Every structure is written in C-alpha cells, then in structure tokens.
Amino acid sequence: MPRPLRVAIVGAGPAGIYAADALLKSETATEPGVSIDLFERLPAPFGLIRYGVAPDHPRIKGIITALHQVLDKPQIRLFGNVDYPNDINLDDLRAFYDAVIFSTGADADRALDIPGIDLEGSYGAADFVSWYDGHPDVARTWPLEAEKVAVLGVGNVALDVARILAKTADELLPTEIPPNVYDGLKANKALEVHVFGRRGPAQAKFSPMELRELDHSPNIEVIVDPEDIDYDEGSIETRRSNKQADMVAKTLENWAIRDTGNRPHKLFLHFFESPTEVVGEDGRVVGLRTERTKLDGTGNVTGTGEFRTWDIQSVYRAVGYLSEELPKLPWDVDSGTVPHEAGRVVEAGEHMQSTYVTGWIKRGPVGLIGHTKGDANETVANLLDDHTNGRLHTPATPAPEAVVDFLEGRNVRYTTWQGWYRLDEAEKALGEPQGRERVKIVDREGMLRASEA
C-alpha cells in the first residue's frame, strides 16, 4: 500500500516552514500525500522572527501569523528542543525519512579583521540581538556602560542595534521584551550612537521604512553630515535602477539639510568612513579609528589616507551573519554555506542522495525574510523531481511513530506544536496584567515547563 512521502526539515524558522508549505502545495501532497516533521533546536519555532527581529517591529513579527497557518496543517509535526546532531544526526534521519532538508539559517556574527576587534567592549551585533530578543542560550545581562557607542555596518541589523541602543527602556516596555532586558536597557548609559559605513548613501543597505522609523522616536535625534551626501556615476545609476536605494538616499538628504533638534539621544549616520582599528587602553575599547574614503566613479570607494579617531567606548560590528557548519554535510568556508545545486547538496561533485538545503544555509545571509520563499520553492521542486524519478533512498523505518520512539528512547525532552500553543498562552498571560501582547519567557527550562503544562 502506498505511503506518504516522508520529509524531515531541520530548522523551524521561516525557511523551513516555507519549505513545508511548498511541499504541502505540491501535486505530490494529494495522493498518497506528504508527511513532514520539523526539527528545531530551540523549544519554540519561528527562528529569526522570534529571535532576530527587533521587539519594536511588530509589523515584521506579523509574518508569524502566516507561518502559524502552515504549522497548523495536520500533515506537519514539530519536534522542538531537538539538537542536530547531538539528539539526532543525518544517519538517524535517513532511517526515518525519504528526504532531509536543512534550513538551519545563520545566527552567528561574521568576523571583521581589524586590530582591536577583540577588545573588551567590542561585540558582535548578532549576540546583542540574541540578548534583547530573549534567546534562551545567551547571558541574561549585557554591559551597557558606554556613553558613546559605534555600530559598524549599514544594513537593517545595524539600524536595529543602533535604535535599541538609542531608545529608552520605557519606549520598549510595551513590546514583548522580558524583564531582564528591560532592566538592562533601563541602566543603559548611551547618549550618542554612531553608525559607520565605508561607502556612500546610495550604497546603504537599509530598507526605506526601517530607516525612516529611526526618526519616529521622541528621544532620538538622527544626524547626517551634509558632507556625506555625495554621488558618482555608479551611485546615480544605482538610484535610477533601484527604487529603494533612491528612497533611502532622499531620506538621508532631507536629514542632512535640516537643523539639529534637542532630543536627548543623538544617532549619527556616518558615510565614507572605513573602520581600520578599534583603539584600546588597558584591554578596553577607548576609540575607533577610520579612514575617510571617496567614490571612484563606479559606486565603490578608495581610501584617501585621511584618518580620524573617534571618542568611542563600545563597538558593535553588524557586518553580516554567519551560518554554523553542519556535521556530515560538505561545507564552503568562504561563503559559510553548504555547497549545492539548486538546493541539492553537492559533495565531491556529486549530489548527496535525498539531502537538500534552503534559506541562509543555502544562499548566505542576504535578502529579506520573504526571499526565503523562492529558495524553498526551488529546493522543494528538485526534491519532488528526485522523488518522481526514483532518485530518493528508501528509509528503513518510515512509520511516523518510529522517530517518536527513537527520541523517547534517548530521553530527549522534545516540545510539540501543541506545546507551542501552551507556551504562547503562557507568554500572553504574563503580558496581560501590563496591557502588553506578551512577555517572552527567556530561560529554556521555563519554556519547556510552559510547553509541557
């Protein structure tokens, strides 16, 4: 008797859930159907949206509503708090499933190779994001002693970090931030936040809406130096061909020509400043050294040989995320991704049978959350093509209860989709007395208890 196609997806963030959705929408999902199990190392699903999006961006967090509808489907099961490869590895998964899709994302900081980057007071943006988003595996406190802070990078993560550092704790209190984050931000001493980009306004990677949101806070004065508004032929062409880049440039131009107001916290956006050294004294950050750059006609920049040292006591690098290498899979060190051809994992020039990737582990940490949908569609199309043409392997024990017996036999304390509903209700109950939508439960044990209640 025919059985459903059994697929394991490792990683229950947007990329993994979009892959599950694509499988369900495929023709194969009709007869004999598809059976999908999502494995997530954290007790809760949703990945980057829960632990990578700033708490004052409920509009983006609203994507969870659409993902929720996918996970509600009866063909999908969630196994949270299950770590790959410690709780279950690739060989184990092959025993239970016809195919495995890895969608583990990227949540570490990419390195920045300049002197002093490892000084005390120098941090990765991803680590800070994990702290203020209440990730269960990071410390509960964060040192916020610096009055003048630098953020290196001109992408949306840099904006998020700068905005959280510049806002007051009370501004963020209506969001889902847990008590430890509120207390930490309440003690924040930052009065100036300086964001540095080595190229110009036309090359900034901000989203227009995210950039404009900086100016909405009654406590943040956004300042742009008029001398940083400069374009060459390459920059002008970028503005002509990219509506978002043009909107960002116009916003920056408007800020550059206005008078500086009197809001208490100053947020400076600096362009044409390339960080060359984090300056230290007694092992701590005391400054940032940059080289002034200039456009070369193509939209790229060259150094001018003019250097400046900024009075800074803390530095956050927001120069990109990095994926974690996955055991038993090939790895490209330079790109921080799994080698693949249109989602099919490739090792030594050959497709790894029944093994696929999607999302940032596939293409690198670029683009917005919605872009992972196209990744998922491509990967799933090739998985289904391999299924149709008999190229998938046959699992030894495909029965759905086999993986449950396996996890329970290893005493893995896994959570379920029903457990998420319980955790969700528990967090909403914590927020209700304060008139907040929810208050995040931070520690892993607390999340597990709420899921099991």
pLDDT value of residue 369: 73
Tens digit of each residue's pLDDT (9 = 90 or more) over 252-285:
999 999 999 999 999 999 999 999 999 999 999 9
User: CB neighbours (10 Å) of residue 56?
Assistant: 21
In the block, tokens 């929408």 appear at 25
Q: Percent of the chain having pLDDT more than 90?
A: 92
- Which runs of consecutive H residues, i.e. helices, occur in 312-416? 360-363, 372-388, 400-409
Tens digit of each residue's pLDDT (9 = 90 or more) over 195-253:
999 999 999 999 999 999 999 999 999 999 999 999 999 999 999 999 999 999 999 99
In the block, tokens 């930052």 appear at 190
pLDDT value of residue 57: 85
- For 109-321, CATH gives 3.50.50.60
Tens digit of each residue's pLDDT (9 = 90 or more) over 387-437:
999 999 999 999 999 999 999 999 999 999 999 999 999 999 999 999 999
pLDDT above 90: residue 39: yes
Q: What is the DSSP string of 34-103?
A: EEEEEEESSSSS-HHHHHTS-TT-HHHHTHHHHHHHHHTSTTEEEEES--TTTTS-HHHHHHH-SEEEE-
CB-based burial label for 341 (10 Å; 0-12, 13-18, 19+): exposed
43 phi and psi, to 5 degrees?
A: -70, -20
DSSP H or E segment with residue 10: strand 5-10
pLDDT above 90: residue 61: no
pLDDT value of residue 59: 75
Cis peptide leading into 327, omega within 30 of 0? Answer: no
DSSP H or E segment with residue 281: strand 273-281
| DSSP 8-state code for residue 408 | H
Tens digit of each residue's pLDDT (9 = 90 or more) over 291-346:
999 999 999 999 999 999 999 999 999 999 999 999 999 999 989 999 999 999 99
Closest Cα partner for 40 from 6, 72, 81, 77?
Answer: 81
CATH architecture, range 5-106+323-415 = 3-Layer(aba) Sandwich (3.40)
| DSSP 8-state code for residue 337 | B
pTM (2 d.p.): 0.95
Average model confidence (pLDDT) for the chain? 96
Give every CB contact of residue 37 below 8 A, 6+ residues apart in sequence.
6, 7, 8, 9, 76, 77, 78, 79, 96, 97, 400, 403
Closest Cα partner for 107 from 211, 172, 11?
Answer: 11
pLDDT above 70: residue 30: no
pLDDT above 80: residue 368: no
- Token code pair at residue 1: 């008797």
pLDDT value of residue 372: 86
Residue 60 pLDDT level (bands cut at 50, 70, 90): confident
Q: How far apart are CA 258 and CA 330, in angstroms?
A: 52
Closest Cα partner for 135 from 10, 13, 15, 42?
Answer: 42
pLDDT above 90: residue 438: yes
pLDDT above 80: residue 62: no
53 and 64 Cβ atoms separated by less than 8 Å:
no
| DSSP 8-state code for residue 133 | T
pLDDT value of residue 29: 66
pLDDT value of residue 142: 98
Q: Give domain limits for the chain.
A: 5-106+323-415, 109-321
Distance, first Cα to last Cα, the chain: 38
